[in-house]
Each structure stands twice: as C-alpha cells, then as structure tokens.
Amino acid sequence: MEPQLGPKATEEDWSAVFVHAGAGYHSVPNEPAHREACASACRAAIVFLKNGGSATDGVEMALKSLEDNEITNSGYGSNLALDGTVECDASIMEDSGRSGAVGAVWAFKNPSALARLVLDNARKPLSLKRVPPVLLVGHGALAYAKEHLFPEVDNKALVTRHAHARWNKWRKELDIVEQQERATNKRQRVSRQPSPAVKPASEKATVKAPIHADNEDLVTDTVGCICVDRWGNVAAGSSSGGIGMKHRGRIGPAALIGVGTWIAREGQSVVAATCSGTGEQMAHTLIASKAVNRIIAMEDEIEGLKNSIEEDFMGSRIVKESIMSSAVGIMAVRIDKDSSKGRIKFFYGHTTDSMVMAHMTPSMKDPETVMSRNRNNPETCLGGKSIQASKLAAE
C-alpha cells in the first residue's frame, strides 16, 4: 500500500496497531505469555508505522511476530493435521479492496509474508492480459514461491514439542473412537444373526467429552491484526495453523477474504475486522464482511457487532442446525477521518471463554493488552474503547 499524502498529512498521525491471538480458552497460568505475544506483535508493527511505513507493512510485521511465537496457532507451533503435518493459511487486505492470500501451505516459516508477496504482485500486469492471482493454495502456492525465490523451510522445523504432544494425545483419542465405530458397524452387520447377548449400554466403553485443564490452552484458530498508518490508510490480516487433526488441504477462514478478514469504506469512514472461531461455520456465514457491514450501518458500533455475532453467526441456520460446537471472536476497528475528534474506535466481541488482544500507538510507551474472559459463555462478551489520533511532529 503506497502512502497517500492528503491535505491533513501534517496535522494528524493516525498510526495504530491492533492484534489478537485467537479466541478460545487461554489458561490462566499461560495468560502472561499470550499477552506478551500480542504486545511483541504490536512493538514489531509500530516500529514501521512510526517511521512512515504503510499499514500493510505493519500488518505483515505483526503477523510474522505472532507466527514466530510458538504459543500461537500460526506458523511455528501450529496445530498438526491428521498426518502430523503443519499446514497454514494467511491473508492480508487493504482498504482499497486489494488482497493477497495463501492456503494449505506447509513449507514456509511465515505464510503471511507469502500472502504479502501475492498482494504486491497482484498490482503488476501479466503478459497476454492474464489476471494476477490473489489466492494460491497447496502445490500451486509452493510453485509460486519457488518462482519468486521465496524462502522455504522443512516442515519439521515448524513442529514444536507441545504441538506434537497435543497431536499424540488427539491421535490416541481418535484411535479409540475409530475402534468403537468399527465395533458398532460390525454389530450392525451381524444384528440379524443369532449372537450372544450384547452388554448393556452402561457397560460399554465410552469416551467422555474433553474437558480442558486449568493449565491447558484450547486456542485453535486464527490470529489477526489491523493497522492504520499515519495517513489513515487501513490494512488487516489473519494467519492460522487451522484446527487440530484437520484433513490435509483444508482451507480455513484465515485465507478467505470476507470470512476471516474484511475492510469496507463508506465516505471517509473505514471499518476493518479480523475474526477467529469455528472456521467452517464462519465460511458459511461470511461473518467478517457481515460484521463490518453492521458496524458501518449503526451509530452504536458495539451494538452492531453484538447483532452480527448473535444474528448473523449464532442465529444463522447453519449454526443452529450444526452438530459441531459453535464459536466466534471478532476484533474490529473504525476510523472516521471527518471526525473533528480524530478518534479511532477499537472494539471486540466473542462467544468463547476468552480472547486476548493488544493495541499500541506511537505515543504509547508500551502496548496495552486485554485478556477478555467470558463468564457467560456462550453468550456474547463485548468491549472496546476510543483512541485519540496523535499530532505529527513538524518535518
């Protein structure tokens, strides 16, 4: 995104960064580590924004910081697929509407950087009037990266000890379930033949629904970032290792513009959102775009966000009829350049146990972190604040 010098460029500095590290359950013992992951991402982005970097630069730097931190489910330390492989999704969008995304990629330390490459190259014309891609997945993304000399890593370098331990635990639980299913199918096949009495249901082996321990995180989805540069340009992005034990090739909301990330402009007002939660349900409901539309349409932005979570997501037919657990978390930012107050509004909502976020502006010595804990799950937990735009120093 090229900086756009407007008539107010010497009056106000809109620079700000907002990040979240996923919605789910963040254990109390690990809370400081989750807060610090968000704070570190803010620091990485604000360095670029303070020195005239674009909003897109800030988003890329923040996402890379989150991907490099093993406590997040993105990049290094991501959840593992059924076969024990890390596969990641990422996207970056600008308020111009331009975007770049990659999905189901397994050979890159920072999938967000590859998404940025796709975004930047989408500005360049191709021969024979071909249209540059904005979303590349799997082997196609790998070939594209090779063509552009993008650095690769061995997939094993992305697997952490904790992620592998989780995979081993889930693999054993899945084996038990599969054994029970095979036994059930066998009984059904021979049910018409004389057979010994089957044990009553109370004596059959059962698998209890998993209950998280107090010191165990259950954060299984997207991290995200929204940045505003000094000229008021906005960019947003998401990155994720996806759900644990997923099928190889599964594309999650972090790669899907309008689902995990969305930005819309109406006049001088810009609203951006990045989301986390149950990916397949998010995809069916197009929740990021619907949340942004609600926020733009309503004077009370938090009420608009609440309506989107409760009506567009939780109230949707696909969620109501789903046999899966349903969860969503949304972080959003609104900037109104016509406002005489020069404020950026930051707000969030989630139905999960917790959601961790942070924000920072150039005038702040340290990032401000928030661990929002929902005492009424699955009801919606909401919050937000206004941030004053800074004055640019004289050039």
Instruction: Please list the active-site residues.
Output: 222
Question: Closest Cα partner for 88 from 63, 106, 71?
Answer: 106
Task: Please report where in the chains the tokens 């959601």 appear, as a residue.
Answer: 355
Place of tokens 């094993």: 156
Question: What are the phi and psi torsion angles at 111 (to 5°)?
Answer: -60, -25
- DSSP SS3 for 191: coil
Give helix then strand counts, H and E, for the chain. 9, 15
Cα end-to-end span (Å), the chain: 22
> Nearest CA to 248 among 81, 100, 23?
81
Count of residues in the chain: 395
Adjacency order of strands within the sheet including 135-137: 135-137, 99-105, 88-94, 234-240, 223-228, 16-24, 354-360, 368-373
Structural tokens at position 283: 């995809």
231 SS3 class: coil
